């Protein structure tokens, strides 16, 4: 069955490393926004351009799944709603959704970010102490129910469905 893998975790958790392994194991198309943001804009975030890029990538991911190609979405996905939306959209295509959550403690996170900066500076941008703390404060850790593939409720109030929610979150998706 065609599968969409979604990487989840903080910067330095090892998502892209694992995403490369999954892509090789499953012949999957790997979509890593940083691989596009940095060459195109020289920044990981640039005036909302990341949301625009991610929306088109989500559109592309679902197109690939429709064609029977496995996909690895290397987005990080800090928000539970983002994960539920992508899961719903994947399953609506009749494909299998698999979340790959990589937890990381703060000390390991710092040492991996430093390691990456020392070994592959072209793949990354400097990350400040504030960036690390911001991430740790805002990341919505998947709970046991979500990890077991259950617990997806409907979208937040005001949205007809997850497709509408996704089009609001990533304006280029629709």
Residues 77 to 136 in contact with ligand ADP, rule: CB under 6 A: 112, 115-116, 119
Closest listed residue to residue 58, CA positions, set 27, 25, 94, 83: 83
**Both tokens assigned to 174:** 């629709």
Indicate which single residue of 16, 70, 90, 109 sits in contact with Mg ion (rule: CB under 5 A).
16
Question: Using CB distances below 5 to 8 A depending on partner kind, what does residue 33 bind out of ligand ADP, Mg ion, none?
Answer: none
Give the three-class secondary structure for 99.
strand
Q: Is 30 in the site for ligand ADP (CB under 6 A)?
A: no
24 versus 145: smaller Cβ distance to Mg ion: 24
Total site size for Mg ion, rule CB under 5 A: 2
Asked whether 96 and 3 are in contact (CB, 8 A), the reply is yes
60 versus 132: smaller Cβ distance to ligand ADP: 132
User: Minimum CB separation from ligand ADP for residue 108, in Å?
Assistant: 8
**Both tokens assigned to 44:** 């990981």
The piece of 12-20, 81-89, 136-144, 160-168 that touches ligand ADP (CB under 6 A) is 12-20
**Both tokens assigned to 42:** 């020289």
Total site size for ligand ADP, rule CB under 6 A: 12
User: Minimum CB separation from Mg ion for residue 34, in Å?
Assistant: 6
Contacts of 109 (CB under 8 A, 6+ apart): 10, 11, 12, 13, 132, 136
Closest listed residue to residue 73, CA positions, set 88, 84, 57, 89: 57
In whole angstroms, give the CA distance from residue 28 to residue 49.
25
Number of residues assigned to the chain: 174
Indicate which single residue of 4, 6, 8, 9 sits in contact with ligand ADP (rule: CB under 6 A).
9
Q: Which residues bind Mg ion (CB under 5 A)?
A: 15-16
Q: Which residues bind ligand ADP (CB under 6 A)?
A: 9, 11-17, 112, 115-116, 119
């Amino acid at each position: 069955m065609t599968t969409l893998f979604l990487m989840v975790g903080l910067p330095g958790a090892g998502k892209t490393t694992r995403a490369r392994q999954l892509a090789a194991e499953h012949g999957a198309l790997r979509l890593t926004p940083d691989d596009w943001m940095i060459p195109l804009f020289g920044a990981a975030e640039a005036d909302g351009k990341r949301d625009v890029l991610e929306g088109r990538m989500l559109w592309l991911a679902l197109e690939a799944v429709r064609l029977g190609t496995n996909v690895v979405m290397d987005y990080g996905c800090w928000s539970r709603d983002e994960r539920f939306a992508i899961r719903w959209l994947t399953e609506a295509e009749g494909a299998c959704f698999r979340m790959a959550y990589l937890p990381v403690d703060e000390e390991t996170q710092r040492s991996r970010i430093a390691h990456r900066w020392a070994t592959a500076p072209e793949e990354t941008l400097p990350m400040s102490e504030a960036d690390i703390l911001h991430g740790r404060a805002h990341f919505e850790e998947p709970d046991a129910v979500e990890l077991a593939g259950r617990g997806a409720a409907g979208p937040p109030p005001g949205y007809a469905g997850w497709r509408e929610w996704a089009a609001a979150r990533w304006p280029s998706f629709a």
